[in-house]
Amino acid sequence: MNPVSDLKYFLEVSITTFVSFNLLYVIWIFFIISSETASGFNGSIMYVPHAARVITICYFGIAAIPALFAAHVFCTFVIGDAYGLNNLLLIDLLGTSFLSTICVFIALYAMAGLGFKLKTLPFYKFTKDSIYLDLRNHKHIIMVTVFSAAVHSLSLYVYNSLRAISSNPEMFIRFFVGDILGTLVTIFTLSFMIFAFFRER
């Protein structure tokens, strides 16, 4: 391991992760939240930034975690606060951000327990019987999305109940559906954009 190349790689991954999450958060807050806050906010039905979590953790591994956590805190504390979305205490803000950051990580390890392993993640051994998740296959990414949305919504629901923030089951459902829909919309939009702008005719 070369510390200089490690640092270079870490910075590349961190900047990409931070910028992509912020970008998706801003898009989400501009285009989606304005139509949802009218009837009270119980979790977005299409949470676009979840795509940044799934994609960065899947493709960059644990190197993306610090930047993702920083992006969560920054977006909620600075941008979300400006739109009146942040009514959490600092400790809860950090707690929910931490859970949101590691939800994909936990989901991937849960999937590894079921036999679907991802080569970009360390800490477990690969055997000949392991089924590898193929990062070139969008169906595998969608599977990770569904698992991570389940982990995310469940962990946040438990956290919110324990901390007496909210125990509304609607929030759990909306988080689950919103994460899946948001990720799908982002991935498909990016795919169509690549087709529209970069495909040679």
Partner 1 sequence: MAEWSIALPWKGSIWATVSRVRIPVSPPFEFFTFFVQNIDIKGNKMPDFKKQLTTFVQMLRNIEDEFKLHSLTPNEQAVFYTILKSNDVCNISKIVDESGLSRSTVYKILRKLEDSNLIEAFQSESDKRESIVSLKV
Q: Give contact residues for partner 1 (rule: CB under 8 A).
A: 1, 3, 5-7, 9-10, 12-13, 16, 55, 59-63, 65-66, 119-122, 135-138, 141, 187-188, 190-192, 194-195, 199, 201
* CB 115 to partner 1: min, Å: 18
* CB 34 to partner 1: min, Å: 28
1 or 164, CB closer to partner 1?
1
Which residues neighbour 123 within 8 Å (Cβ) at sequence distance 6 or greater?
Answer: none
Cα–Cα distance for residue pair 88/72, rounded to 1 Å: 13
Cα–Cα distance for residue pair 190/73, rounded to 1 Å: 25
* CB 130 to partner 1: min, Å: 12
34 or 137, CB closer to partner 1?
137
61 or 165, CB closer to partner 1?
61
90 or 197, CB closer to partner 1?
197
* CB 111 to partner 1: min, Å: 16
Which among 45, 3, 48, 51 is positioned nearest to 28, based on CA atoms?
Answer: 48
CA-to-CA separations, 187 to 122, 142, 180, 192, 196, in angstroms, rounded = 25, 9, 11, 9, 14
16 or 166, CB closer to partner 1?
16
* CB 85 to partner 1: min, Å: 29
Cα–Cα distance for residue pair 182/184, rounded to 1 Å: 6
| Phi, psi dihedral angles at 166 (to 5 degrees) | -165, 140
